[in-house]
């Protein structure tokens, strides 16, 4: 399941449960249409708290979608997660698509103020990593 919504900072995406390659392909098509008349710069808030790990095929479609958002003007994004596996998967995808440097990841289980922290990153460039406890970096090659 996915949902795309327009917000004051740009876009709010919600991904939940298991998403097939076909559903992810439809998300890319829907996103293309959604972003047609969007401002040249915007933020993206992604709620993945209930998302299961993607299959390799669905992951390839997500890769296309992330590249699309980058090309259309995404300047910052924040991803809210509950799963360590999904977090590692999306950090790797972000590195592949070139959005990793301006994307932040917030563990909703560990951070009760995840919504506010995410919106502050998008609207005020207040980096949530500067206020979170030190965590080891994960570098996927």
What are residue 47's phi and psi, to 5 degrees? Answer: -100, 110
Q: Evaluate whether the domain defined by 2-130 bears CATH number 3.30.750.
A: yes
User: pLDDT for 69-111, tens place per residue?
Assistant: 999 999 999 999 999 999 999 999 999 988 888 899 999 999 9
Residue 31: CB atoms within 10 A of its CB come to: 20
What integer best gives the mean pLDDT of the chain?
91
User: pLDDT for 17-71, tens place per residue?
Assistant: 999 999 999 999 999 999 999 999 999 999 999 999 999 999 999 999 999 999 9
Percentage of the chain exceeding pLDDT 90? 82
Q: Which among 41, 88, 99, 37 is positioned nearest to 66, based on CA atoms? A: 99
Tell me what pLDDT residue 88 has: 94
Which tokens is 115 given?
């919504």
Going from N- to C-terminal start, the domains of the chain cover 2-130
- pTM value is 0.88
Between 92 and 134, whose confidence is greater?
Answer: 92
Tell me what pLDDT residue 134 has: 42
């Amino acid at each position: 399941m996915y949902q795309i919504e327009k917000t004051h900072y740009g876009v709010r995406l919600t991904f939940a449960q298991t998403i097939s390659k076909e559903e992810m392909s439809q998300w890319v098509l829907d996103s293309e249409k959604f972003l047609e008349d969007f401002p040249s710069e915007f933020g993206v808030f992604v709620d993945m708290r209930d998302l299961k790990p993607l299959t390799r095929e669905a992951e390839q479609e997500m890769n296309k979608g992330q590249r699309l958002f980058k090309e259309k003007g995404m300047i910052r994004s924040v991803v809210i997660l509950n799963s360590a596996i999904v977090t590692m998967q999306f950090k790797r995808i972000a590195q592949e698509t070139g959005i990793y440097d301006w994307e932040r990841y917030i563990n909703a289980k560990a951070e009760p103020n995840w919504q506010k922290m995410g919106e502050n990153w998008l609207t005020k460039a207040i980096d949530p990593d500067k206020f979170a406890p030190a965590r080891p970096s994960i570098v996927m090659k």
